[in-house]
Amino acid sequence: MDSEESIFLAALELSAEDRHAYVCKACDGDKALSGRLHELLDAHGNSRGILDLAETQGFGRSQSLPSEGHRIGPYRLMNRLGEGGFGVVFEAEQLQPLHRRVALKIIKPGMDSKAVVARFEAERQALAIMDHPNIAQVYDGGAIDQSHRPYFVMELVKGIPITNYCDDHAMPTAERLELFITVCRAVHHAHQKGIIHRDIKPSNVLVSEQDGKPMVKVIDFGIAKALDQRLTEQSICTQLGAMVGTPQYMSPEQSGMSGIDVDTRSDVYSLTVLLYELLTGTTPVKTETLKDANYQQVQKIVNDQEAIRPSQRLRESANELGTLAENRSTSIERLVKQVRGDLDWITMKGLEKDRDRRYDSVNELANDLQRVLANQPVLAGPPSLTYGFCKFARRNRNRLVSGAAIALLVAAILIGVLNNQRHIRLARQNETSRLNNFLDEANTALIAAAEDITSDKPWTTLGLLSKQVESSIATQLNDSQTTEQAFNFLDRYKKASQDREFTLAMENLLIAKSTEQNTETWQLMERQFRRILGKRGYDVQTLSFQDVERQLKEDRKPLKVTDALELWLATRIKISDAGGQTISKKVIRGWTEAMCVADPNPMRAAIRRTIFGTVDPNRDFLSAAVSPEELSAACARKLSWLAIAYEMVEDSDRASEIREFALSQHANDLVLNFEYATLLMKQQNTDQAIRYYMRCTALRPKAAGAWNALANAYAQHGELQMACQSLEKAFQLEPGDAVAYTKLAEWQLASGYLSEARQSAEIAQSKDPLLLLALQIIGRSHMLQKDYHQALMAFEKHQATADRNPNDSVNQWISECRQHIAASQGK
C-alpha cells in the first residue's frame, strides 16, 4: 500500500469527482487512512488557511502584477494611471461588446476574491441605476484567473484630486464651497439609490476641466463595500499590505469599535473631513498624527479626538497660513474670518462623533453650505448669542445704515441685552412675541444643556437666557399664556440646575472615593452623600424603605438617585467594616431590596445584590444577569459598578474587560477615566495612569481631585516638575492642607526649586506648626543655598519640636552647618 503522501499527491492529479473513489481504493479498507486523506484533501481545497496568506503575497514585486498590454477578460491594459493602498489603476481598452476606454482597477492580492466579487455582484443592480453626471459609473467587476485578484472596471476619469485642483487653481473659499456642494449633491443622489460610498477622500473625488469649468466626478462607488473595508486590524495592515480605508476620512462607526452598521451619515462625516481639508489644507486628524499610530491608537484617535475648529486650525497653521491664503486667493486675516463662525459650526456638526448629531443627510449639509453662500442663518450653530445678529447685519447691510436701524442697534447695546438678530426684529414686534422668542431660544438651550449636564459652556448660556426670561416676565404680564410658559420654563430650568448640581457633587465625591481611604474620610464622605441626598429630598436616616421606594418612583431621575443611594450605602458599609458605626445585614438587605424594587432592571439588581453581599458572591449569578444588549445600553456608572462586582467575585479579567469596554463606550466620562487611571496606578502602570488622569483634567479642568491625582502619578513616575505644576493647579482650585503643601515642598526641593520649596514648607508650617517634615525642608533648602545660619535655626527648631525623638539625619545636618559656620568664621 502506498504512503499517505503518495496517495494524496496522486489524488490531486485527478478531478474532484474521481478523488473519492481513488482514495477508497488506494486505502484498501484502512478506515483511519482514508479518513485522514479526506481530511487532507479537504484542507487542500480550502484556500482560507493561514498559510494561504503567504501564498498570494509574494514580495509585492512588480513582475507579478499585470502590466501594459496584458489582457484581462475583454479588456486590454494600456497605461498605468496610478497606484494606491488598494492596488493599481490602468487605463484599459474594452474590446467587446463595445469598444471604449475604461479605467481598470486591480486590487492587490490577499483578499478573498470570491467574496469580493460576490459582494460586488450583490450591489451591481443598484450601481447600474445610478445615473448622475458627477458620478463615475462602475461597469464591471471580476477576478483575474488564478491569481485571486479582484478587479473593477469603471468609467475612465482623467482628473486630479479635488484638493489639488482647488489649490492649483487658487480657488477662493466660496468657489471651493460651490464645488464641494456639487460633490454633496452627487453623493446624495447615490444615497437615494441606496448606495453608500464608504470611502470618500480626495483621491476618490476627481476634478477635470470641461470648457474651462471644473467638472467633478466621484469615483469608486460600490468598491469599498465590495472590499468590505472597515478599520479592522486586517484592513489597516495585513491583508493588502497597506491601509485600505484612509483613517483620516473614516467615521467613528467605520472604525469598527462601536459595532454599529454604517449608514449614509458615515458619508456625511467623510465629506465633512473633505470640506475641512478644502478649507484649512489639513484633515481634522492630521496625517502626521497617524503616522506612528498603531491600529489601536488609530481607533482611539478616530473615536475620541475632538476636531479643532477649522478657523482655529488655520490660526495654528502659522507657517503655512500664507500659502493657504494664497491658494485661496485671499489674505490671511480674511481667510480666517471667512471660515470662522458658520463654516466652523457646519464642519463641527458634520464631524460629530455621534452620528445622531450630524446632519441627517448629505443634502442637509449641502443646504447649510448654500445658506452660507447666500448669507442666511445656518442650521448648525453654537449657542452663541451674537450669532443671529451678525448674520442679519450682513444681509441687511444697506438697511442697517439707515438712522433708524442704527438707533435700534445702539438701543439694543445700551439696554445691555444680547446682540441678537431677534432683538432688532423684536423692537418692532410686540412684547409678547418678544418673550416668546426668548422662550424659544431658552428652551432650545435648556435641551442642549440638559444633554451635556456637566459642561460649563451651555449652562452659562442657559443661565444668561433664564435671567432674560425672568426679567421679561417682570416687565410684562399681559399675555397669561406666554407668562405661564415662561414660568414653566423657569421651573424646568430650576429642576435641571438641581440635577446638574447633584451630578457635579456626585462626581466630586466619586473622585474623592477612589483616592482617599481612611475611616475619617469615609465618614466625611458618608456625611456628604447624606447631605446631597437630603438636598434631593431623601433623608436616609429617617425615611423607611417603603418611603424610599415610593419616592424613587416619582423622581425625575430615579437612576441617578439610586446611584447616590448605592454609593451612600457602600460608604456606610465601609465605615462599619473599618470599625466605625455598625450597620446590620438586615438594614443593608432592606436598602438593597428597596432599590431593586424601584429599579428592577435585572443587571442592575444583580450588581447591587453582589456588591452589597445580599447574595453569595457568584460568577454565574452575575453573568446570567448580564446580556450584551444590557451592557451597551448601560450607563457609565453602572458599568463601573459591574466591574467592581466582578472584582468582588474575583473575576478580575472580566472586570478589566468591562472597564475597557465602559471606556470605549463612554470615553468622556470623568469618573470612568478616573477610576481606570487609579486602577492603573495600583497596577504600577504610572505611565498609562498619567494619560488617563490628564484626560480627567481635560474633561473637568475645575476638579481639584483630578489635578491632585495627576500630581501624585507624575511624582511616582519621577516627573517631579510636572507633579509640582499639577499640584499647584489643584491648590488654585482648592487650598491644600498642611500635608499636601509639605508634599509639594518635598517635590520642589527634589527638583531643585529651593526657594519655592521653602515657601511651600512655610505655608505648611503655618497651617500646622508641629509638622516636622516641613521644618526639615525649610532647613534643607537653606542649607543647599549655603545659608547655614538660617538652616541651623530651622533644624534646631525641628529638634526642639521633635523633642523626644530627634531625627538622626537632622543631627547630622546640624553638625554640618556648624562646621561650615565655623570654617567661614575661621577665615
Partner 1 sequence: MEQITKILNQLDSGDATNVNQLLPLLYDELRQLAAAKLKHERPDHTLQATALVHEAWLRIVGNDQESQLKWNSRGHFFGAAAEAMRRILIDHAKALQAEKRGGKYNQIELETWNHPAASQPDTLLELDEALSKLNKQDPVKAELVKLRFFAGLTIQEAAQALDISTASAERYWAYARAWLHVEIK
CB of 293 to partner 1, least distance (A): 7
Name residues whose C-beta falls within 8 Å of residue 553's C-beta, 6 or more positions apart in sequence: 598
CB of 336 to partner 1, least distance (A): 28
CB of 144 to partner 1, least distance (A): 17
Q: At 182, list the grid cell.
A: 456639487
The nearer residue to partner 1, 114 or 467, going by C-beta atoms, is 114
CB 297 within 8 Å of CB 281: no
Q: At 627, list the grid cell.
A: 446580556
The nearer residue to partner 1, 163 or 420, going by C-beta atoms, is 163
Identify whether 479 is a catalytic site residue: no
The residues of the shown chain that bind partner 1, judged by CB under 8 A, are 5, 8-9, 12, 36, 39-41, 43-44, 46, 49-51, 53-55, 57-61, 85, 110, 233-234, 236-239, 241-243, 246-247, 287, 290-296, 299, 628, 653-654, 657, 660-661, 664
Bridge partners of 335, per DSSP, are none
| 87-100 per-residue burial string, b: 16 or more CB within 10 A, e: under 16 | bbbbbbbbeeeeee
Counting Cβ atoms within 10 Å, is residue 401 exposed (0-12), middle (13-18) or buried (19+)?
exposed
The nearer residue to partner 1, 57 or 443, going by C-beta atoms, is 57
CB of 243 to partner 1, least distance (A): 5
Ramachandran category for residue 259: left, alpha or beta (phi over 0 → left; psi -120 to 50 → alpha): left
CB atoms within 10 A of CB 556: 10
Residue 439 CA to residue 412 CA, distance in Å, equals: 18
The nearer residue to partner 1, 245 or 341, going by C-beta atoms, is 245
The number of helices, as runs of H, and strands, as runs of E, in the chain is: 42, 9
CB of 238 to partner 1, least distance (A): 5
Q: How many CA atoms lie within 13 A of 273 on its CB side?
A: 26
Which residue carries 462607526 as its cell?
253
Q: At 181, list the grid cell.
A: 456642494
Residue 343 CA to residue 181 CA, distance in Å, equals: 13
The nearer residue to partner 1, 57 or 497, going by C-beta atoms, is 57
The nearer residue to partner 1, 35 or 602, going by C-beta atoms, is 35
The nearer residue to partner 1, 292 or 808, going by C-beta atoms, is 292
The nearer residue to partner 1, 291 or 804, going by C-beta atoms, is 291
Which residue carries 486523506 as its cell?
37
E strand map for 283-380: none
CB of 240 to partner 1, least distance (A): 9
In single-letter form, the type of residue at position 183 comes to V
CB of 694 to partner 1, least distance (A): 21
CB of 224 to partner 1, least distance (A): 15
Catalytic residue among 199, 599, 651, 669: 199
Secondary structure letter of residue 700 according to DSSP: -
Counting Cβ atoms within 10 Å, is residue 11 exposed (0-12), middle (13-18) or buried (19+)?
buried
Name residues whose C-beta falls within 8 Å of residue 652's C-beta, 6 or more positions apart in sequence: 646
Counting Cβ atoms within 10 Å, is residue 588 exposed (0-12), middle (13-18) or buried (19+)?
middle
Q: At 429, list the grid cell.
A: 414686534
Annotated catalytic sites, by residue?
Answer: 199
